[in-house]
Amino acid sequence: MTARITVFVVFACAYFLSNFFRATNAVIADDLSRELLLTAADLGFMTSLFYVGFAAMQLPIGAALDRIGPRVTSASLMLVAVGGALVFAMADSFFAVALGRTLIGIGMGSGLMSAIKTFGVWFRPERQATITSIMVGLGASGGLLAATPLAWVNAQIGWRSVFAWGAAAIALSALAILLLARNAPPGAPDPMRAAGAPPDGGFARIFRQPILWRLVPINFFLIGSMLAVQTLWGGPFLFDVLRLTPLAVGNLLLALSGGIAGGYLTSGYLSDRFGIERMVVIVSPAAAMALAVLAWWGAQLPQALVGVLFAIFGYAGAFNLVLLAQIRREFPEQLRGRAATALNMFGFGGAALLQWWMGVIVALFPRDAAGRYPPAAYTAAFGFVAIGLMLSVLWYLRRAPRATAIPPVTS
């Protein structure tokens, strides 16, 4: 195995685990609610804490990647995720699962950005977009594992054992990055040593740029809605509205995760061919419409059509990845890494807030005797997100000046 392939594989494995852990609650939501006596609002808030931790780490990660490099940054943070998975596995209260979920989010926060930073040194510029999209697409298959396979494994050994074994997998992945990855190819200067300490004030420059605020709403709702449904509310929607078995729910979540993986694999190529803005303007309304149909007519739709709509929604939502490429090209080289982490912070902040807000909306409706929420609860929650996504598309259509007027950064 060549050194480049090794670097690619170890970061792809870490991102795979990140996607798996962020999506687990959609399948085990019923078990968590029953065993820990969680309401919909509790479940939404607790699940959102993965993204709270993830988003909160983006700015520190951006600085750490420039100062100490992706290898140590990623491996060190993943040890926090190991602790979080163990806390979650042993949890006997809402507070404990909330703490575990937060620690997992913090620990997984550097996976994508560490890979992008590393690939920028290891691969030629003309191949980086393709390599990154392949890595993200393969990593997104962690969501596939958190669908039907997780439903089956959960039925065999329970969610606590799943998280205990998951902690071991995270530890092995962190060790692989530490031992096998390098910040630069053999013989090339380590960019962390060659560049010296990065200049201060980069984030302040980024937050003053109108182009960032043009992209924030669409990123907030596009990735936020996709992750809110994939990693939590898709499962309860299928349980409560369609009244499916756990295995059937896992199959439909598999369609959603498959759409996401397909979107990540093809978004880079399609955006390079047809333009980032054109593709975002095409796919974002498609995601909103798929979600709206599920919101208003989901209870009347055949199961196969629900699967198709889930796949469309997931495929379109995965185009959030190209927004990171768009923000990077709008800034000078010295600020591109921090610009991407700043935008990523708002995207995962969107996942946290939308997941929580959807839970608050669902909890406004009374449960039936079996503990199920009515279809109207999901109509309100899904409809709210679909409307927000469409409004963000309209905002994205506005033009903002490019960030080329930023003066060069000097040490």
- 6-32 confidence digits (pLDDT tens): 999 999 999 999 999 988 988 898 899
Q: What is the pLDDT of residue 218?
A: 96
pLDDT band, residue 147 (cuts 50/70/90): confident
Quick check: 61 pLDDT over 80?
yes
Taking a C-beta distance cutoff of 8 angstroms, is the pair 22, 29 a contact?
Answer: no
- 331-385 confidence digits (pLDDT tens): 776 677 778 888 988 998 998 899 999 999 999 999 888 888 999 999 999 999 9
Q: Mean pLDDT across the stretch 196-209?
A: 69
In a domain, 244, yes or no: yes
In a domain, 410, yes or no: no
Quick check: 198 pLDDT over 70?
no
For residues 14, 328, 131, 127, the Cα torsion angle rounded to the nearest 10 degrees is: -150
Give 98-102 contacts, CB < 8 A, sequence gap 24+.
Answer: 98/45, 98/46, 98/49, 100/163, 101/25, 101/46, 101/47, 101/49, 101/50, 101/53, 102/49, 102/50, 102/52, 102/53
pLDDT band, residue 408 (cuts 50/70/90): very low
In a domain, 191, yes or no: no
Q: Phi, psi at residue 229, to the nearest 5°? A: -80, -45
Residue span of the structural domain in which 238 resides: 3-186+196-403
Amino acid at 20: F
Give the chain's domain count.
1
pLDDT band, residue 409 (cuts 50/70/90): very low
pLDDT higher for 231 or 279? Answer: 279
- Where would I find the beta strands (DSSP E) of 271-388? none
Taking a C-beta distance cutoff of 8 angstroms, is the pair 103, 52 a contact?
Answer: no
Residue 365 belongs to domain with CATH number: 1.20.1250.20
- 208-253 confidence digits (pLDDT tens): 888 899 999 999 999 999 999 988 899 899 999 999 988 888 889 8
Q: What is the pLDDT of residue 214?
A: 92
Six-digit token string for 352: 């946290």
Question: From the CA atom positions of the chain, what is the Rg in Å?
Answer: 20
Q: How far apart are CA 47 and CA 44, in angstroms?
A: 5
Quick check: 190 pLDDT over 70?
no
In a domain, 162, yes or no: yes
In a domain, 408, yes or no: no
Task: Give the mean pLDDT of the chain.
Answer: 87
Q: What is the pLDDT of residue 306?
A: 95
In a domain, 381, yes or no: yes
311 C-beta neighbours (distance < 10 Å), count = 21
Q: What is the pLDDT of residue 346?
A: 92
Quick check: 1 pLDDT over 70?
no
In a domain, 39, yes or no: yes
The three-class DSSP label of residue 14 is helix
In a domain, 214, yes or no: yes
